[in-house]
């Protein structure tokens, strides 16, 4: 019987296997950030262990960093301590670090791919659940806890239990205005936040093949929101084209050797998945969440669901609690939900294509004066690129704020937060209670929906907007 992509990558990294024990897997790349690493480095110090492979380890500052005034000291003493601790640890253990202000600094899952460090067939880990992002290249990439961070630092391996495989086949072509974010929100709504548990998901099918690398990263990024261990997409010409010429990409004869190997990283025709899900791309429309987990999502054209209509007791109670927290009433059209803040950024949607897509909508338009919009590039490279293309001017002309790179409002760990009761349309990945700040209410959306929502003030897609030529100086019609 043939092997799936995930099984091939796994098999190529087994250092030690024994009956009844987890396999010991070699880790090709370990990404580190300030939040989940201090205790791991501390553990090494206490046991007198070195970092085994500092040359396969890379650190960046992202979760805690402010996105304004990055040349100043971090005001919050606790955040500053974490960042300072990372700097001291990287210096002590010889780990390369991209600190705040460095041209390469950014969100860990934006930095790896843009440097060409993320390559097909690799095993990649980081103390962050959105490490699944790197699976877009055909790497087996997953989040780990701090003890595992210490384990990888000390041994460059991880003991891992086998996973099951699930094929998510997205057939057909997406309609205009429907994006990778809408695909993954629809997938999670379909299989649930626990539906991927124990599985590595492989996204396949025509709609996936047609996506750019950045779209594929958006999809793999949110695999964890379906409970999956990882998400993967088989590498192809799109993948090779993205990697070629990047800083850490192989070149010359090594490039040919690499491409020959990478090309073998596809699921064999006779391989069998443990589960399969099929999605019809043509039937997808812009998707948004209404509740407090990423599985509580619906097409933008729908209404807030009625918990009474949900048969399963747990699901119903969850929905009731979510509506109460979100301050929503059943039956309200999702398009009528007014937001206070629009956040464009994060490891899910903070890449250059995301910013371009939103800027295309905002060009010549102005955001609703009753809301604020934060545009936060995923890395300093993305920031520089966007500024070279004039996107920053489009955003600021439209009334949005243009920031420096970081995790920003994706999570309540830095100054960019929602206030209690404040409602956001956010291109990030989690709408959990308090995720964007205590009491904050989050609707997960695509960059296109974020931009259109910023213009209309209520959850909207670009199709809801008046053409730019029809605008008066008073702003768009409602």
Partner 1 sequence: MDAFHTHTGVGIPLRRSNVDTDQIIPAVYLKRITRTGFEDGLFAAWRSDPTFVLNQPAFSSGSVLVAGPDFGTGSSREHAVWALLDYGIRVVISSRFADIFRGNSSKGGLLAAEVTQDDVELLWKLLENEPGASVTVDLEQQTIAARSLVIGFKIDPYTRWRLLEGWDDISLTLRHADEISEFEIGRPAFAPTTR
Footprint of partner 1 on 356-395 (CB under 8 A): none
* Cβ closest to partner 1, residue 117 vs residue 357: 117
Residue span binding partner 1 (CB under 8 A) among the ranges 210-218, 221-229, 281-289, 464-472? 221-229
Told to check if 471 binds partner 1 by CB under 8 A, we report no
Reduce the DSSP state of residue 11 to 3 states and report it.
Answer: helix
User: Which of 1, 48, 71, 161 is close enough to bind partner 1 by CB under 8 A?
Assistant: 161
* Cβ closest to partner 1, residue 119 vs residue 446: 119
* Cβ closest to partner 1, residue 262 vs residue 395: 262
Told to check if 129 binds partner 1 by CB under 8 A, we report yes
278-337 residues near partner 1, rule: CB under 8 A: 293, 314, 317-318
User: Which of 180, 201, 258, 339 is close enough to bind partner 1 by CB under 8 A?
Assistant: 258
- Measured at the CA of 465, the angle between CA 461 and CA 468, to 5 degrees, comes to 135
- Interior/surface letters 120-138, b for 16+ CB within 10 angstroms, e for the rest: bbbbbbbbbbbbbbbbbbb
Told to check if 221 binds partner 1 by CB under 8 A, we report no
Q: Which two tokens stand for residue 402?
A: 């243009």
* Cβ closest to partner 1, residue 42 vs residue 389: 42
Is residue 420 within 8 A of residue 442, CB to CB? The reply is no
Name the phi and psi angles at 415, rounded to 5.
-65, -15
Half-sphere exposure of residue 438, counting CA atoms within 13 Å on the CB side?
A: 0
Residue span binding partner 1 (CB under 8 A) among the ranges 38-46, 265-273, 326-334, 468-476? 38-46
Residue span binding partner 1 (CB under 8 A) among the ranges 145-153, 266-274, 280-288, 442-450? 145-153
Question: What's the rounded Cα separation, in Å, for the pair 303 and 48?
Answer: 58
Dihedral angle of Cα 430, 435, 437, 441, to the nearest 10 degrees: 60
User: Which of 62, 128, 182, 422 is close enough to bind partner 1 by CB under 8 A?
Assistant: 128
Question: What's the rounded Cα separation, in Å, for the pair 287 and 456?
Answer: 17
User: Which of 3, 70, 146, 285 is close enough to bind partner 1 by CB under 8 A?
Assistant: 146
Closest separation in Å from C-beta 35 to partner 1:
5
Residue span binding partner 1 (CB under 8 A) among the ranges 113-121, 268-276, 367-375, 469-477? 113-121
Question: What's the rounded Cα separation, in Å, for the pair 330 and 341?
Answer: 22
* Cβ closest to partner 1, residue 145 vs residue 364: 145
Closest separation in Å from C-beta 175 to partner 1:
31
181-210 residues near partner 1, rule: CB under 8 A: 193-194, 197-198
Give the chain's radius of gyration (CA, Å). Answer: 22
User: Which of 113, 127, 215, 440 is close enough to bind partner 1 by CB under 8 A?
Assistant: 127
Question: What's the rounded Cα separation, in Å, for the pair 356 and 445?
Answer: 16
Q: What DSSP state is assigned to residue 197?
A: B
Closest separation in Å from C-beta 16 to partner 1:
5
User: Which of 1, 20, 309, 470 is close enough to bind partner 1 by CB under 8 A?
Assistant: 20
Dihedral angle of Cα 284, 286, 290, 292, to the nearest 10 degrees: 80
Residue span binding partner 1 (CB under 8 A) among the ranges 204-212, 301-309, 432-440, 465-473? 432-440
Question: What's the rounded Cα separation, in Å, for the pair 52 and 152?
Answer: 8
Told to check if 48 binds partner 1 by CB under 8 A, we report no
* Nearest C-alpha neighbor of 127 from the set 109, 148, 144, 110: 144
Burial of 70 (0-12, 13-18, 19+ CB in 10 A): middle
* Cβ closest to partner 1, residue 258 vs residue 284: 258
Positive/negative CA dihedral, 399, 404, 407, 413: negative
Closest separation in Å from C-beta 452 to partner 1:
28
* Cβ closest to partner 1, residue 210 vs residue 249: 249
* Cβ closest to partner 1, residue 91 vs residue 254: 254
76-95 residues near partner 1, rule: CB under 8 A: 76, 78-79, 81-82, 85
Name the phi and psi angles at 442, rounded to 5.
-115, 130
Told to check if 419 binds partner 1 by CB under 8 A, we report no
User: Which of 75, 103, 173, 254 is close enough to bind partner 1 by CB under 8 A?
Assistant: 254
Cross-strand bridge partners of residue 78 = none
Question: What's the rounded Cα separation, in Å, for the pair 175 and 378?
Answer: 27
User: Which of 4, 36, 105, 348 is close enough to bind partner 1 by CB under 8 A?
Assistant: 36
Q: Which two tokens stand for residue 231?
A: 């998400």
User: Which of 119, 442, 446, 460 is close enough to bind partner 1 by CB under 8 A?
Assistant: 119
User: Which of 3, 99, 155, 303 is close enough to bind partner 1 by CB under 8 A?
Assistant: 155
User: Which of 5, 35, 108, 277 is close enough to bind partner 1 by CB under 8 A?
Assistant: 35
Question: What's the rounded Cα separation, in Å, for the pair 177 and 184?
Answer: 15
Told to check if 249 binds partner 1 by CB under 8 A, we report yes
Reduce the DSSP state of residue 232 to 3 states and report it.
Answer: strand
Max intra-chain CA distance, the chain = 72
């Amino acid at each position: 019987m043939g092997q799936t992509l995930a099984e091939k990558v796994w098999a190529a990294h087994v250092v030690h296997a024994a009956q009844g024990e987890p396999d010991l897997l070699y880790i090709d790349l370990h990404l580190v950030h300030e939040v989940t690493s201090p205790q791991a480095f501390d553990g090494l110090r206490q046991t007198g262990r070195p970092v085994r492979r500092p040359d396969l380890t890379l650190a960046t500052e992202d979760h805690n960093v402010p996105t304004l005034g990055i040349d100043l000291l971090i005001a919050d003493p606790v955040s500053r301590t974490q960042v300072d601790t990372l700097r001291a640890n990287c210096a002590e253990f010889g780990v390369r670090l991209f600190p705040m202000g460095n041209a390469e600094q950014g969100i860990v899952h934006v930095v790896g791919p843009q440097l060409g460090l993320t390559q097909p067939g690799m095993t990649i880990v980081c103390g962050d659940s959105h490490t699944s992002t790197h699976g877009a290249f055909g790497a087996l990439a997953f989040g780990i806890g701090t003890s595992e961070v210490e384990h990888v630092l000390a041994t460059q391996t991880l003991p891992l239990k086998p996973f099951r495989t699930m094929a998510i086949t997205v057939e057909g072509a997406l309609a205009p205005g429907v994006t990778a974010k809408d695909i993954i929100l629809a997938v999670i709504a379909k299989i649930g936040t626990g539906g991927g548990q124990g599985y590595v998901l492989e996204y396949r099918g025509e709609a996936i093949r047609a996506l750019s690398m950045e779209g594929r990263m958006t999809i793999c990024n949110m695999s964890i929101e379906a409970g999956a261990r990882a998400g993967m997409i088989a590498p192809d010409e799109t993948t090779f084209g993205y990697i070629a010429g990047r800083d850490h990409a192989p070149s010359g004869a090594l490039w040919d050797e690499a491409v020959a190997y990478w090309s073998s990283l596809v699921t064999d025709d006779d391989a069998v998945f443990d589960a399969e899900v099929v999605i019809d791309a043509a039937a997808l429309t812009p998707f948004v969440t209404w509740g407090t987990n990423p599985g509580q999502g619906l097409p933008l054209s729908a209404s807030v669901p009625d918990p009474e209509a949900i048969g399963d007791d747990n699901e119903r109670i969850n929905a009731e609690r979510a509506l109460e927290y979100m301050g929503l009433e059943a039956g309200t059209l999702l398009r009528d939900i007014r937001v206070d803040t629009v956040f464009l950024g994060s490891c899910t949607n903070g890449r250059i294509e995301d910013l371009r897509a939103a800027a295309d909508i905002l060009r010549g338009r102005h955001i609703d004066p009753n809301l604020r919009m934060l545009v936060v590039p995923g890395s300093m490279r993305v920031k520089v690129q966007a500024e070279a293309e004039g996107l920053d001017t489009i955003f600021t002309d439209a009334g949005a704020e243009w920031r420096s790179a970081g995790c920003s409002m994706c999570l309540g760990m830095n100054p960019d937060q929602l206030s209690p009761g404040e409602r956001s349309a956010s291109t990030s990945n989690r709408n959990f209670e308090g995720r964007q700040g205590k009491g904050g209410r989050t609707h997960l959306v695509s960059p296109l929906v974020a931009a259109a929502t910023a213009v209309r003030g209520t959850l909207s897609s670009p199709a809801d907007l008046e053409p730019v030529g029809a605008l008066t100086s008073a702003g768009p019609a409602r």
